Homo-oligomer: A and B are copies of this chain.
Amino acid sequence: MDPKQKCVTCFAPGHITGFFTIHENDDPALKGTTGCGVVLNRGVTAKVGVGPDITETEIFLSGSRKQAPVTSHLVASLTCEPVRIESHADIPVGCGFGASGAGALATSYCLNDLFSLGLTQNELVEAAHIAEVVGGGGLGDVEAQAHGGIVIRKRPAPITKGGLLDRIVSSSFSVHCVALGKLSTKTTLDDSSMTGKINIAGKTAMNNLLQNPTIEEFMRQSRSFSFELGLLSKGAKDIIEAVENVGGFASQAMLGDAVFAIAGPECTDAVIRDTMSEFGTVFSSTIAGTY
């Protein structure tokens, strides 16, 4: 590499939302979601470079140049310098695994280091959250991704602006996933009859979870939430039923045509993986921030 060029590589984890409620606000920093999800040990690695040969900002995902509105907005909010961003995701993109949030967060970490911005994690999370809202990505992933664990998002927005995060305490476990296809977060959230359903089902799920904050209850509430919304494809329903038939827990990754599952007390991870592999490629991850 040219000695005048400099680059930094950072990672941010993926996140699967099980259920959520939307909190509208004209200020993108305050618009967000409450809900619950799991943070994965797989995610997005961003490499950000700067140098005399880089004269305009370019964003590549797995080698292909992208518009990437979320990351573009993030870069513009943190620096005037043109940068070259190369991201690699080891989670499916656009399927409910928080890839856009992970990409934005990883890029924010890189920019902070590359330009010695002197920002703390809370400040970078806020910048990434705003980029997600303005760019049409997720509405609560980055707060959870920066926190780690099985995150209960109790109040929306970054924690410096009144947001409140909590966690389900759990020993380590694996989550197994099959992505069947994409589901547009923007299109889904632009449908007001859908957002009405989301907010009713999301509140019920949260109230029930807080009575019994365990990973099993999270899976049960996520399942009820996803069946309530009716966004489940036939393929996703089939996988959920198959997992339940062997004693596991499964639900839809929000918002994606994708299923995530965990083993139950009477079955092993291998049984869950074998069951799911009949429907598509299974990827598995441990959960960040458990013991």
Residues of A within 8 A of B (CB): 10-12, 109, 112-113, 116, 118-122, 124, 146, 148-149, 152, 159-160, 164-169, 171, 210-213, 289, 291
Contact = CB atoms under 8 A, between A and B. Distances in A.
A211 B119 CA distance: 8
Contact of A122 (B10, B146, B166): B166
**Copies of this chain present:** 2
A167 B120 contact: yes
B291 A121 contact: no
A146 B166 CA distance: 10
Given A109-B169, A159-B164, A160-B164, A152 B289 contact: no
A10 B291 CA distance: 7
B289 A167 contact: no
A112 B213 CA distance: 10
Given A120-B166, A122-B166, 7 more contacts: A10-B169, A12-B291, A118-B212, A120-B213, A121-B149, A121-B167, A124-B169
